[in-house]
Amino acid sequence: MSRGKRIVVDEDEWARLQAAARRLRDLNENLPSLLDDVRGAVRRDLDRELSVVADRQSAFEGMLATAGESVRDLERATTVRLDEQTRRMTEQRTALTQRVDTTAAELRQETLRLLDAERARVDDTIARERAERAGQVARLREGLNDLVSDKERAARAARTWLADAAAMRDFIREHLPHERFAPGRLAALEQRIAMAEGNVAAGRSEAAISVAQETYLQLSELRLDLEMRDREWRQARGSATGQLRMVSGLIRDKHLCKGVNQDDTENDSLVEVDWWTSGKLSRLAVEVEDLLEQVADDTRAPGSDELRDLVDRQVPILKQRLQEIAQEAGALQLASQIRANIADSVIQVLQENGYGLDDYTYEGEDYRAMLVAKVRHNDGSEIVIRVAPVPGDPPGCTLDIDSFDTATGSDLIRWERARALAERLREEGIEVREPQESGTPDPAARDVERLRRPPQTRGEVT
Amino acid sequence: MSRGERNAVVVERLAEALRLDSGASILALYGPGTGDSFVCLDYQERNLKPALWQLLRSAGFDRVVFGSVGEPLHFLDAESRDMSLTGRMARSTAAPGMGRMRRLNGPQGARIQLPPPAQPRGGTGEIRPGGTITAPYAVQTLHSYMTQPGVRTALVIERAEDFFRHIGAIRELADRLGMWVQDGVGGNVCILVFSAATMDGVVQAVRDQGSATALADYLSRQGVNSATGAAGRVPEPGPAELSRLIHLLRIRHGLVIDDWTEAAKLVGLMSAGEPQSARTWLNRLSKVRHLNRRTLSAWVTGEPDDRTALEELTELTGLTKVKELVNRLRSLAQVQAERQRMGVPLPDRSNHLVFTGNPGTGKTTVARIIGRLYREAGLLARGHVVEVDTGDLVGEFVGHTPAKTREVVDRALDGVLFLDEAYRLTEDGRGGFNRESLDIILTRMENDRDRLVVIAAGYTHKMTEFIAANPGLRRRFPAQNEIEFPDYEPDELLQILLGMLTAMRHAVDPSLKDLLKRVVTGLYLGRDPATFGNAGEMRNLAQALDEHWAERIVRTAGPAGLRAAMNKPMMPEDVPATYREAAR
């Protein structure tokens, strides 16, 4: 007949033991060094986007220098509008990157507000531009009547308008992401230019002028449209990159956390978050780096709406996940400590009862694993205490106390001892169930030295 | 501290009571001293526990373990504790009975994250004073200590009655105790300390537990033989310890001993009378500044005067033959005491006495004087007299008598057991209880012969039959130790009677004196030699005279003149008619 007796902890007890470990951990987003880093990166990102805009603007101005008089007049108002928008972008960059007292949350909210304001302005500007174009088209139509009487002049004017339209077409094709923001529009206008060219070649100057003028105006509108959309997108990309960099910085910052206590305060112990969560933190870091790469790549980068969604929805989710990972690591570390404490309480009780601590280890010397301790009595009896983790939120654990009596004596006495031990543990605050018969004791369970080795080196079949 | 130095701190009464040389694995201590303080040979005051610890360590025990209700397993010294550590990491953590020490390390080091119990346990608010070992484990651990070879272990169970009553695993403990008795434990001992005053109280207390019947039987057997058994009575302090106690108080409280030449007598006075605990003496003497006979007389009754026992005997009326014998005994006692001092082996000689004679011949008075004489000669530690008759010794139910007898003998240890009408103990009847009592007394006379003097008294003819009834009695009461107390002569009786009347503040008219002489002579001549009451008869006569005198003066003086009439002498007419008959 078996001599082992087993005592296990009541499951309900764990909920109480782990109560405090449930609270989410503060991400410490507002670390000054982290905010500084992020601000610097965001500034560089926005500067890069601004310089792309500035380069394009000067290229446009170069093109305009060779354009006809009427075109230069036509573009004057648009140029004013774009200059105005450039100034605003610069102001926003300053607002987003130079206020040292902004918190990370405020920064993100400000970013979202600016993006939304910009979207409204862009839509408004484009609408006004479009209305203005309609007026310009009407005025040009009126001037057309003068030209038709002079075929030579008309042919010259038609060629000039065609050249300007072609220059604008080439500019758009070269400098602006027309396929991203206005797919097919440029191709349609190119057909119109070809039609106008056909008209010129056929001597139908009147029709050619009309088509060339209208095409130019539509190209000009398309250019402004694209310019505004692109600027909005670049601003959104800069902001999204900044927010992703923030997440990336937080992940780096959370690599090592302080240990938490039952009462939710922190202690001096260090939690290596990635190790405790078995790689969850590095997987999150890889995900964020992938997103950053994708956003930075012009060919793969998402659109403005997606970028806004990234800032608005995805970044908070990433942060939330980071928080959860850090919290999980803290909870796992705390649970491991509690396992040691529980084993310790049991050992204290057993020490008071004539047993001495013989050896103890976390299985495979891994704090994440089961804790095994063995106590030994003068008479050769041994008791093995196992506190094993149970995955979950919060993490739980099971306590097994197996006695290996070597001394002679009746089973009645062993029951009496097991019950007395259970009673003492309850007095210590460990809610255990009544002892049970534990079956034939497994001699391997007493070999603490073997359990100290990593599982793969024990040569056992699992 | 070396072993030799340790030997210096033992105290006699404990060392004598603890029968380490009996070879038994379970020893018992009981008696009034188990709750007392001890003034040890190093002039330090200790309770039983530290005194016992010193004693056991000096007796060569490597480990001394204590068990009590509050702390079923604990140690007094680190050496004993360290010997009891088990497990490779035990030294860095804790030991049974030594409280909490280091914690297991987790990822946060030794930090405690386990929340306290949700609600207080137990409900009774009971606090365990230090020891939290549970009974079944305590028994398991104690058993392992007792059976561990190579470490000589003494286990002391304090207040064993309570321990047995309150320990949760009494059945297991009883089993283990049985194993220790039966199989032996290789020189280890378990000492059960009982607070009961008598061995029968001890046995009864253990028997009351129900589960430890075998232990009760074992203790009962040990109790029968008080000299060699494994049970020892711890008495009140003897003269040597009382002498140290006086010195301790001199040093500690500045007690002044007025006359150093009297110190031994003072100790003698303290030893006389009802025995007192060291604690009582410490308490009493710490409240006085001077120690002299007068201070002591406040507490020691029965010896109010400064006379020596011999002086007192000399002053007694008559008893010429008694005085001669006592003188001889006294000389012998002095020689014996001197022999003891010189280390000369003492001839095996009985100090027990038989006093024969009619009632009222001064036997009890002489017994008290004998006790004091023996004490003054150093033959008895205290010399007090416990005076009993058959009713004090014999019970009415089976098993009652041994308890009563042993209790009486225990009380008389170091003094005199005065058995009045001793012959009754050989009489048949009372279910044989008389004989049972006598057997116990005879055994104790043998076993405790250095601590007990028995004086058997009774009518001469009945005592002759008594001695003859049992060969053991003759051996213990040799013929030369028999003292005959003859009836008083008429002159002696008159002297006794007049002494009694004087003590009653009566003036005796000369005419009455003549009449009384004739009355007394008449009583003497007409007496039944087998039953004559002697001094008792004189007491009866004195009382009768007093009653008649009272009746006369109330009648003649009336209530108003009573106070003035109180001085009126006793006259011949105050002699009652029945006594007048004797005068003829």
Q: What is the CATH number of the domain that holds B430?
A: 3.40.50.300
Distance between CA atoms of residues A158 and A152, nearest Å: 10
| CB-CB neighbors (< 8 A) of B95 in chain A | 351, 356
Which residue, of B469, B485, B501, is where some domain finishes? B485
- Does B459 lie in the same domain as B433? yes
- Does A221 lie in the same domain as A114? yes
Distance between CA atoms of residues A338 and A329, nearest Å: 14
pLDDT of residue B94: 45
Q: Is A242 helix (H, G, I), strand (E, B) or coil?
A: helix
Q: What is the average per-residue pLDDT within B211-219?
A: 83
**How large is the ipTM?**
0.77
Q: Is A449 on the interface with B (CB under 8 A)?
A: no
Sort residue A313 into left (φ over 0), alpha (ψ -120 to 50) or beta.
alpha
- Does A74 lie in the same domain as A173? yes
Nearest CA in chain B to A377: B86
Which residue, of B233, B256, B284, is where some domain finishes? B233
- Does A447 lie in the same domain as A346? yes
Asked whether the beta carbons of residue B145 and residue A339 sit closer than 8 angstroms, the reply is no
The 10s digit of each residue's pLDDT in B140-181 is 888 888 888 888 999 999 999 888 888 777 788 888 888 888
pLDDT of residue B1: 39
Distance between CA atoms of residues A176 and A185, nearest Å: 13
Residue reference for tokens 């008075």 = B365
B528, burial (CB in 10 Å: exposed 0-12, middle 13-18, buried 19+): exposed
Candidate from B108, B144, B172 with C-beta closest to A267: B108
Distance between CA atoms of residues B268 and A420, nearest Å: 54
Candidate from B86, B88, B169 with C-beta closest to A355: B86
Candidate from B96, B103, B134 with C-beta closest to A424: B134
pLDDT of residue B79: 83
- Does A416 lie in the same domain as A371? yes
- Does B404 lie in the same domain as B523? no
Q: Is A419 helix (H, G, I), strand (E, B) or coil?
A: helix
Q: Does residue B95 fall inside a structural domain?
A: no
Residue reference for tokens 């070269």 = A174
Asked whether the beta carbons of residue A340 and residue B73 sit closer than 8 angstroms, the reply is no
| CB-CB neighbors (< 8 A) of A452 in chain B | none
A382-386, B17-21, B269-273: lowest mean pLDDT where? B269-273
Asked whether the beta carbons of residue B89 and residue A347 sit closer than 8 angstroms, the reply is no
- Does A234 lie in the same domain as A189? yes
Distance from CA of A429 to the nearest CA of B (A): 4
pLDDT of residue B100: 45
Full residue range of the structural domain in which residue B271 is found: 239-297
Q: Does residue B105 fall inside a structural domain?
A: no
Q: What is the average per-residue pLDDT within A455-460?
A: 71
Give the total number of structural domains in chain A. 3
Q: What is the 3-state secondary structure (H, E, C) of B423-492?
A: HHHHCCCHHHHHHHHHHHHHHHHHHCCCCEEEEEEECHHHHHHHHHCCHHHHHHCCHHHEEEECCCCHHH
Q: Is B288 helix (H, G, I), strand (E, B) or coil?
A: coil
Give the total number of structural domains in chain B. 4
Q: Does residue B96 fall inside a structural domain?
A: no
- Does B260 lie in the same domain as B156? no
- Does A357 lie in the same domain as A339? yes
Banded model confidence at residue A30, pLDDT cuts 50, 70, 90: low
Q: How much of chain A is helix, strand and coil, in % rounded to 5?
A: 70, 10, 20
Q: Is A342 on the interface with B (CB under 8 A)?
A: yes
pLDDT of residue A170: 93
Distance between CA atoms of residues B575 and B555, nearest Å: 16
Residue reference for tokens 């280390």 = B343
Give the count of beta carbons closer than 10 Å to the beta carbon of residue A258. Answer: 15
The 10s digit of each residue's pLDDT in A93-128 is 777 776 655 677 777 788 788 878 888 888 888 888
What's the CA dihedral at B280, B284, B286, B290 to 10 degrees? -140
- Does A194 lie in the same domain as A74? yes
Residue B35 has pLDDT above 70, yes or no: yes
Banded model confidence at residue A28, pLDDT cuts 50, 70, 90: low
Per-chain mean pLDDT for chain A: 83
pLDDT of residue B101: 47
Q: Is A267 on the interface with B (CB under 8 A)?
A: yes
Residue B278 has pLDDT above 90, yes or no: yes
Asked whether the beta carbons of residue A259 and residue B108 sit closer than 8 angstroms, the reply is yes
Query: What are the residue ranges of helices labelled H in B477-534?
Result: 490-503, 510-525
Distance from CA of B160 to the nearest CA of A (A): 20
- Does A98 lie in the same domain as A144? yes
- Does B245 lie in the same domain as B157? no
Q: Which amino acid is at B172?
A: E
Candidate from A267, A271, A341 with C-beta closest to B114: A341
> How many residues does this entry show for chain A?
462
- Does A54 lie in the same domain as A199? yes
Asked whether the beta carbons of residue A262 and residue B107 sit closer than 8 angstroms, the reply is no
Residue B303 has pLDDT above 60, yes or no: no
Asked whether the beta carbons of residue B96 and residue A336 sit closer than 8 angstroms, the reply is no
Residue B86 has pLDDT above 60, yes or no: yes
For testing contact with chain B, the best of A336, A357, A430, A432 (most B CBs within 10 A): A357
- Does A102 lie in the same domain as A121? yes
pLDDT of residue B227: 59
For testing contact with chain A, the best of B140, B147, B183 (most A CBs within 10 A): B140
B362's enclosing H/E stretch is none
B410, burial (CB in 10 Å: exposed 0-12, middle 13-18, buried 19+): buried
Asked whether the beta carbons of residue B93 and residue A357 sit closer than 8 angstroms, the reply is yes
Full residue range of the structural domain in which residue A236 is found: 32-249
Cis before B117? omega within 30: no
